[in-house]
Amino acid sequence: MQNFRMLAIAAAAVFVSGAAFASPSVFSGQATLAKAASAPVDATVSGVAWHCEADKCVGSAERYSSLDNPVKECRKVAEAVGPLTAYTSRGRELSKGALAACNANAQAKGGPSETAQK
């Protein structure tokens, strides 16, 4: 019985430690442009491939690890594709206040203006 307990504890330790070494998670995000793009827009932002058609953008990456918060992620996307009216990252949608900060910070960093989107 003692050997069985030791074996169970060792197996549990291996299982738990394996999760710590798992690969970074898959990224999925969505954004809505303030002004629809006249042609499809593709941009890679921090390893995430973003594709925009009209006013809808979808971002995806098979492996993504980031310490960025959603507002900083949003800012980087807005810098690349233009001002946004909505941003969702890994299932979390930004509030109106956070989205306003995202767009203001993108504009301050020299992101595309509403009239000069890529």
In a domain, 60, yes or no: yes
Whole-number pLDDT of residue 19: 45
pLDDT, residue 118, reads: 39
- Structurally, the chain folds into a number of domains equal to 1
pLDDT tens digits for range 52-103: 999 999 999 998 777 678 999 999 999 999 999 999 998 899 999 999 999 9
Please report, as a single letter, which amino acid is at residue 110: G
Domain span at residue 75 reads: 24-108
Domain assignment of residue 114, yes or no: no
In a domain, 4, yes or no: no
Token pair listed for 23: 């690969």
Residue 50 pLDDT more than 80? yes
Q: Is residue 103 part of a domain?
A: yes
Residue 57 placed within a domain: yes
Which letter, b or e, does each residue of 59-89 get, where b requires 16 or more Cβ atoms within 10 Å of its Cβ? bebeebebeeebbebbbbbbbbbbbbebbbb
Distances (CA, A) of 80 to 22, 24, 26: 30, 24, 21
For residue 9, name the pLDDT band (cuts at 50, 70, 90).
low
Which amino acid type is present at position 83?
A: P
**Measured distance CA(25)–CA(17) in Å, rounded:** 17
The verdict on pTM exceeding 0.75 is no
**pLDDT value, residue 113:** 47
